[in-house]
Amino acid sequence: MPSNPSFNWSRLQNVYYDIRTCYAPLSWSIENLHSDYKISFAPDTTLIAVASNSIPHPNLIEVYSLSGSKVTSVIYNSTPTDYIQDFLFRKEDLVLILNDGRFRYYQDLVGNFNEYRFTENLIKLDNMTVNGKENNGSAPESSRMITNLENEEMEEVIDIKETLVSKTHLVVRLDSKLILTDLDSFQNYEVDISSHILKGIEGMTIKDDSENVVIYIACEQTILVLKVDFGLSSFELVDQELTDGPFNSIAISPNGQLTALHNKSYSKIFIVSSTFDQILLEYDTSNDSSSPYQVTWCGNDAIALSLKDEIKLIGPEQQSISFFYDIDEDDDFDLDNLLSKDSGRNDLQYTIPLIQTLSDGLRVVTGDKVQFLCRVPEKTVAMYQIGSNSPSSILADCINKFSSNAAKAHANITLLKSDDVLAIAMGDALQVALDELDTTWQKRALKAVSFGKVYAEGAFDADNYLSVINTIKVLNQLRAPELGLFLTYSEVQAIGWEEVIKMLLRRDQHYLTLRIAKSLGLKDLVPLVYIHWCCYKIRKESNLSDIQLFKIIVDKLLSASKKRTNYISIDMISDVAHEEGRIILTNLLVDLEPSISNKVKKLVDFDEVELGLVKAFQSGDYSLGLLMLLHVQDTLPTSDFFEILNQNESKHYNPTIDRELQDLKIVIPTETVPIKGEVIGHTWVESVAKLQPKLMEKFLTHEDKIHELNLLKLNEFAKNHQNGEGEEYYNSYKKLLTKCLRKSVRTTTMKAIERELKILELQHRLEKTYLTNFYSEKSLLSILTRLIKMNQIKPASKIVKEFSILQEKFWHLVLSTYSKAHEFDRLYEFVFGSLDASTGKSPIGFEPIIDAAFANDAPKEHISAYIRNSVKYKYDEKVRLFIRNADYESAAHEAFKNKDIEILRNLQQN
């Protein structure tokens, strides 16, 4: 190993590039990778899919890790009419495209997949291109149709020209259209490109965009940019009006700012801006060792060409550097050995490196090794470049000098401290350690930081140092050949640790993943480990019963919590259990869901609406309970819905299962309210049903609730006839009351209806007598009140006797009515029989009359008469009342009659 990593660097203009071997030799036994196999790389080259070119259509696709270890295999018995058209990766999900419009989406590395059709349920996007309709108007037929002789139905001829996969979509180019399939919802969209069929399309590539899908299409001499807006269900196809085509390949830089266009016919590569309005570089490939097999980007700064036995990097101003594959790196120069090798060499045998763009460099794959080519980070250059005087370089130099010249090392540290750059030097060294791939140089950088810590005097962030060490350990674990996840720190930052965790879980590395998540403090990602482990267990342990599996899963989930409560979502776990046909396990798992809304949603998804309704009510969430009631009401037949309304959890209670699970002692926080009796039915009756009287009537009839049914009908009649009058109202209401009376079985109900019938007859009689509507008076008291206002006291008294109303109640009604209406003479006449009388008797006493008289400012003489007739008040109380009424004469007379000298004296003084 060289004493300085810079000895391996290659300079391109003012920057350095370094190519490092990731794995060599590889575990596979594959030769002539480029010529004998069709290859597909996963993003970041974490997986490589390989299929032989020896047959027209592959039957076997083998998926390898980057270190050459086989991860999985996909077998498909291709025939001349049913075969694999292409295979691609979306992240680490393999997408297998078949020739007849189907595609398989593999969700893991053990062969589980779902099959879809990209030709079904197409949403045709509107062409918003300027003059787009005119262009389409002269286009040929957008599809070819044939007759299926088996069913005599017309079918479209599917001729797949090209397929691509982006972060979100599968793109399939057919004869005259593009089909875009959302790989999350699996909705298909159609983009009509029939106007460009005759022009000839060379190929296309996808520019990843966070909001919309942007596709660059090489068409004849130019590039067409297709922008798809799924929100507006439209697309725009813009001609960039280039003239240097045809372009055989299009490569977009990772940051999307530059595009490389390769014209093989003219041996030209053009680097243009993202807006295609400026050519930044034009490179002639005719002088290279071969025509480029691939043209792509090495990070964002250089173009990489894959040539025979060579990779060439092209930088600004057409400067380039090459890395060759026809020279053994480890051989010392030996002319005799070199001549002997050349004499036996077959000129037809050469290496064509396969290259893939990464966000920070280039992955290079050949039959016997995998390499990583990248621009050397600036901080690494500053630390290791010969002659550098950067703080990190001075700090690194201290390590070299410490053992041989401690004084010089101390002087360097003193210099860094005096310039106040020691912390900067240590921070840069930590970043160099993170970016470094070789463990030796990682240790060297960390050793420099450790040395600086001694002199940092508390200004050093020890937590950050520990975090960097843990991160480097994790990265080195990932890069081990057993896993083959050769990711740089920059790549991990780009894709996120969550994606890395998912990669490990795909490889069933549950224990390692848990350790990594805890060591890096990724607490939010720990649930992913438990979820994947549970799903893995359900699929693997096919011999265990549902109860046995549930116990295992519960123990694992509860081990993540200090309490006997699960806080991890069981959404994916229950889905897997349901897919495996384990219904009991599915329902038991749903009980563990910490979110009540998710719990109810899953039960609805699994057609367990009754149980979902019960769980909603058990949670105590009234709004959720009502929502579920409406859902069940809308989705189930009426008879089934009525059966559910009076059900409770006992229908879903299985004593055998309950006994087996008692020892688990699980606490389910979403089930806080016990559901007993007719709670659900009563809630529906008191809420939703009030807005749907017809359905309520059916329910009460179904439940044979005669009393409630009669009340409902009467209430509805009253609501709909608030201003009823005439014979029609009388006959209708009488008919309804008679019918309800006939059906009633409760004595109290019968009495109430009979009384209502009697009141109806009274209203009818009064209407005829007084020629005015009495049906608006809904109660007997309101009828009496109206008669009192009409001064029909005698008819009112007869009604009182007829309906056995207490005289006291009637007197209070008269008193209240006349007092509020200030009909004091009528009140006086009612109490004493005539206006001339001054004595009388009252069944309610005179005290309430006196109070009402004072409250409503009755005449003084009336009030005094009422006071005189009171037998409840004593003489002194009567005196005070007379005085309050300003009737001093009556007060004196009352005092004189009772020989109260003191009161008389007081009256005389006042």
User: What's the pLDDT tens digit per position in 518-545?
Assistant: 999 999 999 999 999 999 999 999 899 9
Residues 6+ apart with CB under 8 A from 607: none
Give me the pLDDT at residue 330, please: 47
Give me the pLDDT at residue 422, please: 92
User: What's the pLDDT tens digit per position in 78-88?
Assistant: 898 899 999 99
Give me the pLDDT at residue 544, please: 92
User: What's the pLDDT tens digit per position in 87-96?
Assistant: 999 999 999 9
The C-alpha atoms of residue 315 and residue 12 are separated, in whole angstroms, by 7
Residues 6+ apart with CB under 8 A from 405: none
Instruction: Give the residue-averaged pLDDT of 772-790.
Output: 79
Q: With 50 as the cut, is the pLDDT of residue 18 above it?
A: yes
Q: With 90 as the cut, is the pLDDT of residue 114 above it?
A: yes
Which residue blocks in 294-438 are alpha helix, DSSP H?
335-343, 378-384, 391-402, 406-418, 422-435
Q: With 50 as the cut, is the pLDDT of residue 636 above it?
A: yes
The C-alpha atoms of residue 425 and residue 332 are separated, in whole angstroms, by 38
Give me the pLDDT at residue 255, please: 92
Cβ proximity of 573 and 589 under 8 Å: yes
Instruction: Compute the chain's Rg from CA coordinates.
Output: 46
Give me the pLDDT at residue 729, please: 64
Cβ proximity of 139 and 123 under 8 Å: no
Give me the pLDDT at residue 456, please: 84
What is the percentage of the chain residues whose pLDDT exceeds 70? 84
The C-alpha atoms of residue 549 and residue 559 are separated, in whole angstroms, by 15
Dihedral pair phi/psi, residue 62, rounded to 5°: -105, 135
User: What's the pLDDT tens digit per position in 441-485?
Assistant: 999 999 999 998 888 877 778 899 999 999 999 999 999 999 999
Cβ proximity of 729 and 760 under 8 Å: no
> Which residues are registered as beta bridge partners of 314?
303, 320
Could you tell me which of 229, 698, 300 has the C-alpha nearest to residue 494? 300
Q: With 50 as the cut, is the pLDDT of residue 352 above it?
A: yes
Instruction: Give the residue-averaged pLDDT of 363-381.
Output: 96
Q: Which of 258-267, 374-383, 480-489, 709-718 has the lowest mean pLDDT?
A: 709-718
Residue 490 vs residues 361, 487, 494: alpha-carbon distances, Å: 10, 8, 6
DSSP calls for 210-250: SSSEEEEEEETTEEEEEEEETTTTEEEEEE----S---SEE
Give me the pLDDT at residue 347, please: 45
Identity of residue 602: K
Q: Is the peptide bond before 637 cis (omega within 30 degrees of 0)?
A: no
Q: With 90 as the cut, is the pLDDT of residue 200 above it?
A: no
> Which residues are registered as beta bridge partners of 322?
312
Give me the pLDDT at residue 341, please: 46
Instruction: Give the residue-averaged pLDDT of 750-762.
Output: 73
Cβ proximity of 366 and 19 under 8 Å: no
For residue 653, count CB atoms less than 10 angstroms from its CB and return exposed for 0-12, middle for 13-18, buried for 19 or more. exposed
Q: With 70 as the cut, is the pLDDT of residue 652 above it?
A: no
DSSP calls for 150-206: TTTEEEE-----EEEE-SSEEEEE-SSEEEEEETTT--EEEEE-GGGTTT-EEEEEE
The C-alpha atoms of residue 139 and residue 125 are separated, in whole angstroms, by 17
Q: With 60 as the cut, is the pLDDT of residue 489 above it?
A: yes
Q: With 60 as the cut, is the pLDDT of residue 290 above it?
A: yes
Residue 147 vs residues 152, 153, 154, 309, 684: alpha-carbon distances, Å: 6, 6, 5, 51, 55
Give me the pLDDT at residue 138, please: 44
Of the pLDDT bands very low, low, confident and very high (cuts 50, 70, 90), residue 409 is confident
Instruction: Give the residue-averaged pLDDT of 276-297.
Output: 94
The C-alpha atoms of residue 20 and residue 372 are separated, in whole angstroms, by 5
CA 27 to chain centre: 41
User: What's the pLDDT tens digit per position in 833-855?
Assistant: 888 888 888 899 889 988 898 88
> What does DSSP say about strands 126-127 and 234-239: parallel, antiparallel, or unpaired?
parallel
Helix (H, G, I), strand (E, B) or coil at 327: coil
Q: With 70 as the cut, is the pLDDT of residue 908 above it?
A: no
Of the pLDDT bands very low, low, confident and very high (cuts 50, 70, 90), residue 879 is confident
Instruction: Give the residue-averaged pLDDT of 174-178.
Output: 90
Cβ proximity of 216 and 237 under 8 Å: no
Give me the pLDDT at residue 327, please: 60
> Which residues are registered as beta bridge partners of 205?
216
Give me the pLDDT at residue 343, please: 45
- The helix-helix angle for 596-605 and 622-635 (nearest 10°) equals 10
Residue tagged 């599917």 (tokens)? 158
